[in-house]
A and B are shown apart, each in its own frame.
Chain A
Amino acid sequence: ETGVTQTPRHLVMGMTNKKSLKCEQHLGHNAMYWYKQSAKKPLELMFVYSLEERVENNIVPSRFSPECPNSSHLFLHLHTLQPEDSALYLCASSEKGTGEPGELFFGEGSRLTVL
């Protein structure tokens, strides 16, 4: 496989469920990202991991919990979500140097619907 792959592509969950989104990158990059994409809104950066360490944690509700076990894998654990959390969740990777983050390579996203 090549590029960035995300599973599942579609997820429907109730507000009391616990689920996880998975992302895997096969590009040898050292940084991985979770973004939230809602209709007609800018991409919202949720979490950044560089060299497996979380380097940025924007104001994201604690019901979203990231995990980066190694440089190729990234998870987003979900629990007690709200209907307004329904969105497309995009994973991305890049080769991060000392300055610019470099070109981002995105996965196709996980479409989440919270009932």
Chain B
Amino acid sequence: GQNIDQPTEMTATEGAIVQINCTYQTSGFNGLFWYQQHAGEAPTFLSYNVLDGLEEKGRFSSFLSRSKGYSYLLLKELQMKDSASYLCAVLDSNYQLIWGAGTKLIIKP
């Protein structure tokens, strides 16, 4: 079967750095997405990786290793507004999105 694993919850301190991991086992791979979802709000697109390596976008970076079936989302200089759930999703060989259950990130002052 297809599976996406990410931690259920993480806690970090304002101003620090946090890394949210995502491992996947899917039938084929056509890219990996990260979405951010604040409580009671719509998920919003953060990043898309299809090639190995690190993609940086401001305070957020996303890394992909296809050989290891692994990605992480790196958040730097954490702010209270970064408290949210972070959803990892993989596009399989049929271009179907397989979703993880999301990681709830709690930022403490």
Contact = CB atoms under 8 A, between A and B. Distances in A.
B101 A100 contact: no
A43 B8 CA distance: 14
Contacts of A90: 42-43
Q: Which of under 10, 10 to 19, 20 to 34, or 35 or more describes the interface residues of A?
A: 10 to 19
Contacts of B44: 106
Contacts of A45: 96-97
A66 interface: no
Nearest to A40: B101
Interface of B: 4, 8, 30-31, 33, 35, 40-45, 48, 87, 89, 91, 95-102
A103 B91 CA distance: 11
A40 B87 CA distance: 11
Instruction: Specify the main secondary structure of chain A where it touches its partner.
Output: loop
A43 B42 contact: no
A1 B44 CA distance: 17
Nearest to A99: B95
Contacts of A109: 42
A99 B95 CA distance: 7
A108 B101 CA distance: 18
Nearest to A109: B42
B32 to A, nearest CB: 12
Interface in A1-47: 4, 40-43, 45
Contact of A108 (B4, B35, B41, B102): B41
Given A100-B30, A103-B45, A108 B91 contact: no
Contacts of B33: 103
Contacts of B8: 40
5 contacts: A4-B42, A42-B99, A42-B101, A103-B33, A104-B35
